Amino acid sequence: MSFPLLTATAALPALGAIATAAVPAARRTMAKWLALIVSLATLVLAAIVLVRFDPAGDRYQLTESRAWIADFGVRYELGVDGIAVALIALTALLIPFVILAGWHDADPLETGNTRWRPTQGFFALILAVEAMVIISFEATDVFLFYIFFEAMLIPMYFLIGGFGDRAHEHGEETASTQRSYAAVKFLLYNLVGGLIMLAAVIGLYVVAGNFSLTEIAEARANGSLDMATNTERWLFLGFFFAFAVKAPLWPLHTWLPNAMGEATTPVAVLITAVVDKVGTFAMLRFCLQLFPEASKWATPVILVLALISIIYGALLAVGQRDIKRLVAYASISHFGFIILGIFAMTSQGQSGATLYMVNHGISTAALMLVAGFLISRRGSRLIADYGGVQKVAPVLAGTFLIGGLATLSLPGLAPFVSEFLVLVGTYARYPVVGIIATFGIVLAALYVLVLYQRTMTGPVKPEVAEMPDLRVRELVVVTPLIVLLIFLGVYPKPLTDIVNPAVKQTMSDVQKKDPQPEVEAAK
């Protein structure tokens, strides 16, 4: 048997997490470097996966299959298609930046307590999340996926609740209460979603007798596994509910602004740029493949919910006074676009949605991390506390602007390509929906530019007059992300080449063909 590359990609950060957690309390810096090196090594492995993946080859590649819990019909089955490869690469790419950006976020306030090791815990938890996210992108066994989909909540929960921004306008006591509220809200929302999915997972087993995605999808396609219409719909709803909480889709989104607002910036990036992608990814991989008929049945409602997410998220983003919450609501709007693209059931829409997942990850990471650097300098998340920053810290302001422009999908930056594809793909089948969704872009321009105007331009506020510009560590974090945004904005072909074949497969699963342009149809 060949080298289990996919297992290694997930196992490396997991082992790294254990090693990082075991570093003695006094050797904080060593823990940080260890975590960084492990995440870089994981990036190398992810790059090898990317290189070894052949877009023209089989649907699932680098597959591994081992017996695991035969009694539950569960096998340890891994395999990646183009969508998964792209998202694994995104995850592995972002984690080193998350670690670097959070370099000082978890330094202990009090020294002397030798048992309490927050730094080690912080970086170990980040690596644990990375491992679980990667394996959920790789799993082609529904049960295996479910296990890590759920288990990843626990380290995320500790990351949100255990580490917050140092400075807080209401003092440490309130901050700690709000943090644990946000963490509990995050966990309960996702746990309830996951438990409902558990009922559906059990139901799927009763119907299908095993959990292998490939086997079930094949059996569905050739008709040997017949599900009653109602059964399929209930199972679909069970799965979709969990993914819609994770993604998050309106009206299940309310945990996200809390969690992103209270968590430290790197953790907020981790939530929205990495972990939430598992939800949208799972819609593509599991909902559409396992329950094609029910997916088509539910499409109208999901499209409406996605539209509401787009508009409602954008409107609330416009009204926010808190920078991090603003980015959170913007993300809700963007997740609306992603879900819209998935359920538009056109290949352009789904390609766009997949690209969007990657691009949104990069652009939000850039915007959010720079916002985090800004917040850490002034000690406030409120927009009103800033003004004229571009005069004192021009590099910071410039990178912030590029991150913001990427968020509003400026042509030339990566998210534009994906947003355009989603809109075109949606318009082809549902013109009205496509038109309404376009307003999301207008609102995005509003909230991004108003945010920039209020914080960066205008007279310099006295509190920000002494603000230092970006440091070397911070530049190392931001520059590659911006380069990537520009590169993928101008030349998205490498990404689309990987993604498109997988999208075609998914489209054929749901037996949807792209609508023909009307001119041709008329001939």
Partner 1 sequence: MSASAVHSLWTTAADPISKIDAPKIEYGQLSPTLIVIGAAIVGILVEAFVPRKSRYYVQMFVSVVALTAAFAAVVGLATSGYGTTKAGIAAMGAIAVDGPALFLQGTILLAGLVGLFTFAERRLDPEAHGNRVDSFAAQAASVPGSDSEQAAVKAGFTTTEVFPLLLFAIGGMLIFPSANDLLTLFVALEVFSLPLYLLCALARRKRLMSQEAAVKYFLLGAFASAFTLFGIALLYGYAGSVSYGTIAQVVDGTVKDVNPALADTMGNDVLLLIGAAMIVMGLLFKVGAVPFHMWTPDVYQGAPTPVTGFMAAATKVAAFGALLRLLYVVLPGLRWDWRPVMMGIAVVTMLGGAVVAITQTDIKRLLAYSSIAHAGFILAGVIAMTPDGVSSVLFYLGAYSFVTIGAFAVVTLVRDAGGEATHLSKWAGLGRRSPLVAAVFAVFLLAFAGIPLTSGFAGKFAVFKAAAEGGAGTLVVVGVISSAIAAFFYIRVIVLMFFSEPRPDGPTVAVPSPLTMTAIGVGVAVTVVLGVAPQYFLDLANQAGVFVR
Closest CA to 310 of 202, 193, 443: 443
Q: How far is the CB of 105 from partner 1 (least distance, A)?
A: 16
Residue 509 CB partners (closer than 8 Å, separation 6+):
217, 221, 288, 289, 292
Among residue numbers 127 through 166, which ones bind partner 1 (CB under 8 A)? 146-148, 150-151, 153-154, 157-158, 161-162
Nearer to partner 1, 46 or 153 (CB): 153
Q: How far is the CB of 237 from partner 1 (least distance, A)?
A: 12
**Would you count residue 199 as binding partner 1 (CB under 8 A)?**
yes
Closest CA to 350 of 79, 83, 59, 50: 83
Residue 228 CB partners (closer than 8 Å, separation 6+):
none
H or E element in which residue 77 lies: strand 74-80
Q: What are phi and psi of 387, to 5 degrees?
A: 170, 135
Nearer to partner 1, 192 or 449 (CB): 192
Stretch that binds partner 1, among 196-204, 302-310, 426-434, 476-484 (CB under 8 A): 196-204
Report the alpha-carbon distance of residue 464 to residue 385 in Å, rounded: 9
Strand bridging mode 61-69 / 74-80: antiparallel
**Would you count residue 203 as binding partner 1 (CB under 8 A)?**
yes
**Would you count residue 206 as binding partner 1 (CB under 8 A)?**
yes
**Would you count residue 175 as binding partner 1 (CB under 8 A)?**
no
Nearer to partner 1, 205 or 297 (CB): 205
Report the alpha-carbon distance of residue 422 to residue 393 in Å, rounded: 36
**Would you count residue 483 as binding partner 1 (CB under 8 A)?**
no
Q: How far is the CB of 39 from partner 1 (least distance, A)?
A: 22
Contact between 423 and 438 under an 8 Å Cβ cutoff? The reply is: yes
- Identify the residue among 184, 225, 315, 460 touching partner 1 (CB under 8 A): 184
**Would you count residue 37 as binding partner 1 (CB under 8 A)?**
no
**How many helices (H) and strands (E) in the chain?**
23, 2
Nearer to partner 1, 207 or 476 (CB): 207
Cβ neighbours around 456 below 10 Å, total: 24
Angle at the Cα of 216 from the Cα atoms of 212 and 222, rounded to 5 degrees: 150
**Would you count residue 225 as binding partner 1 (CB under 8 A)?**
no
Stretch that binds partner 1, among 12-20, 109-117, 367-375, 509-517 (CB under 8 A): 109-117
- Identify the residue among 28, 32, 75, 117 touching partner 1 (CB under 8 A): 117
Terminal alpha carbon distance of the chain = 54
**Would you count residue 64 as binding partner 1 (CB under 8 A)?**
no
DSSP state of 273: I
Report the alpha-carbon distance of residue 233 to residue 295 in Å, rounded: 8
* Count of residues interacting with partner 1 (CB under 8 A): 39
Closest CA to 107 of 323, 376, 385: 376
**Would you count residue 122 as binding partner 1 (CB under 8 A)?**
no
Nearer to partner 1, 180 or 505 (CB): 180
Nearer to partner 1, 209 or 251 (CB): 209
Q: How far is the CB of 185 from partner 1 (least distance, A)?
A: 11
Query: 403: helix, coil or strand?
Result: helix
Nearer to partner 1, 148 or 281 (CB): 148
Query: 66: helix, coil or strand?
Result: strand
- Identify the residue among 1, 51, 67, 109 touching partner 1 (CB under 8 A): 67
Nearer to partner 1, 197 or 345 (CB): 197
Distances (CA, A) of 40 to 47, 52, 298, 327, 480: 10, 18, 41, 27, 14
Query: 384: helix, coil or strand?
Result: helix
Q: How far is the CB of 218 from partner 1 (least distance, A)?
A: 23
Q: How far is the CB of 199 from partner 1 (least distance, A)?
A: 5
Would you state the structure tokens that stand for residue 491, as one six-digit string?
A: 């030349």
**Would you count residue 491 as binding partner 1 (CB under 8 A)?**
no
Point out which residues bind partner 1 (CB under 8 A): 67-72, 113, 115-117, 146-148, 150-151, 153-154, 157-158, 161-162, 173, 176, 179-180, 183-184, 187-188, 191-192, 195-196, 198-199, 202-203, 205-206
